[in-house]
Amino acid sequence: MKNSVEKNLDEFTYNQPNESSEEEFRSENVNDNEVTVFHKLSKADFLKLTTVVLKGARLSSLPDIPFINVVKFDLSDNLLSSIPSSFSLLEKLQTLNLSRNQFDRVPDCLARGFFALKHLFLSENLIVNLRSMDCLSSLQLLDIHKNQIDSFPDSLISTSCVRLVELDISHNFCFKKEKSIDELLGLLCRPRRATISQSLKNITLSNCQLVEKCSETNFLELLPNLRELNLTNDGSLEHKKLFSNEHNFLPKIPLSSMMNMKHLCVLKLSNVSLRDLTDKISEFRNLEILELKNNYLNWLPDGFCDLKNLELCDLSNNELYLLPDKIGNLSKLSVLLLPFNPLSDLPESLGQLENLKFLDLYFNQISKIPEVFLNLNLEGIDVENNHFDSSSLPKSMNYSMLLNELRSKYQLTRILGYRPEVEISVSSDSDSSQLEASSYSEKSGKDVPTCHSISSVELWDTEEDEDDLFNPNDFRPPCVRELNPSSRRKTSYFRVSPPVEGQFDDAESE
């Protein structure tokens, strides 16, 4: 933090003070929600300012001061609802950050100036409509996520907005009205009309009520030059009852709306209830990053192995039982994240991934040390909470160092140890079958929770008038998966012992 304002400065920055600097806060920065420090600057000093940062200064208003030569202005995290009209004179302004304020409409000065503005941040306000603005002619980045916009802004479809490269419109209801979508498609499809459909390279549509096989996703057809597409839902979807009406629901990738994206490099589809990854994923041959975590995928098609440019793949917290045999074809893959899956074995071709540096297999069902580890030149790996003891890995592998490297890289806080397989033993000498779990061997010394017993008495609902829906999750005993509270689906996997001779004699006699 700068303790004084020097006469020759070209930058003014206000940092929110600590509790111990109350005197300094009152005297030099903000007092009664007014910037008093500017009164110490002469007119010549204002002309030298090129950067002003007033983030988190609790401002409710701004002085009517002409910052003629300012290029970057940060007013985020304040209490502003308006900006002085003199700000329209900032002809050199290129970056303006108004995020996390109290604007319910776009400030008037944006509609009448800022012709050089390239980056505009208006996120987390109360804006309902993004009206026409003069600043759109040069705008390259626009962030308006977490507002109250209920239709796609007409101003972004105008011929004046032809240089926009990056757009974040997530957490809005811009695709709620079907009529607005039809109008949007009609305007973007007009021949010889320059619009964002040609300039846009990066779009984020998280939590925008997008639904597969509905007209909302047709908007994607008109973005052939996209490099990055983010449809991920923010927040946890641990229970379906928490599935908000603003979430994207995409059990399948909307490929019919994406086939024109030949240059797509980054695809993010996490937390969208994705259940099927078809062979057509191979059409996106330029994909470098693929994020599909927190979904319901239980297999990967052969077409997945044709993504020759893939460098990072995140499949965390899915339901994958196996990996494709041709996964070794992903020659450029350097990061493979597979924690919280029921994988029990790894294909031998995994050892062909010469560029693989980080491999995460935490909390799977692997019962023996995969030999493919010995063929990999890894920089980080995590195999804790599987069905084998990581201490039995070859010392030449230096597993402890590799484990710390991966966990520090991704800032992971996890327990250590292995997880013995749980078996259900069925005894003919008792009226009920007891679920027996061996102790949880863990370096941190934590105890495994006792598993509930499973009764052998079956109760059948004989009333035909009731329309009951069967939910298998209601009958799952809370078991090993409860050890990790961050796991989205608390699923347990058991090995059932073979029946004992004479076990079902009583049932046959009845």
Distance spanning both ends of the chain, measured CA to CA: 84
Q: In angstroms, rounded to a whole number, what is the distance separating the alpha carbons of residues 383 and 389?
A: 9
Q: The domain 149-186+194-274: what is its CATH number? A: 3.80.10.10
Tokens for 195, please give them.
């619009």
pLDDT at residue number 169: 93
pLDDT at residue number 423: 60
pLDDT at residue number 155: 75
**404 backbone φψ class: left, alpha, beta (φ>0; ψ -120 to 50):** alpha
Q: Are 112 and 133 in contact (CB under 8 A)?
A: no
Q: What are phi and psi of 444, to 5 degrees?
A: -80, -10
pLDDT at residue number 484: 43
Query: Which residues does 330 contact at the CB level (< 8 Å), separation at least 6?
Result: 305, 307, 308, 310, 313, 353
pLDDT at residue number 357: 97
Tell me how crowded residue 356 is: count the other CB atoms within 10 A of its CB.
24
pLDDT at residue number 166: 96
pLDDT at residue number 7: 35
Query: Which residues does 298 contact at the CB level (< 8 Å), separation at least 6?
Result: 318, 319, 320, 321
Q: In angstroms, rounded to a whole number, what is the distance separating the alpha carbons of residues 252 and 281?
A: 11
Q: pTM of the full predicted structure?
A: 0.76
Residue type at 472 in one-letter notation = P
Fold for the domain defined by 28-148: 3.80.10
pLDDT at residue number 196: 80
Delimit the domains of the chain by residue range: 28-148, 149-186+194-274
Query: Following CA atoms 125, 130, 136, 139 in sequence, which dihedral angle do they give, to the nearest 10 degrees?
Result: 30
pLDDT at residue number 312: 98
Across the chain, which has 510 residues, the per-10-residue mean pLDDT values are 39 48 32 54 78 90 82 94 86 94 90 85 93 78 93 76 92 69 52 70 92 72 91 65 67 88 96 93 96 96 96 98 96 98 95 96 94 90 95 92 97 92 54 37 36 38 47 44 43 49 56
Q: What is the DSSP letter of 403?
A: H
| β pairing state of 119-121 and 423-424 | unpaired
pLDDT at residue number 458: 41
Cite the beta strand spans of 401-458 per DSSP E: 423-424, 435-436
Q: What are phi and psi of 342, to 5 degrees?
A: -90, 35
Q: In angstroms, rounded to a whole number, what is the distance separating the alpha carbons of residues 115 and 92?
A: 8
Give 292-303 pLDDT, tens digit per residue.
999 999 999 999
| β pairing state of 95-97 and 312-314 | unpaired
Q: Degrees (nearest 5) of the Cα angle 171, 108, 207?
A: 5
Q: Looking up tokens 């078991």, which residue turns up? A: 479
pLDDT at residue number 186: 52
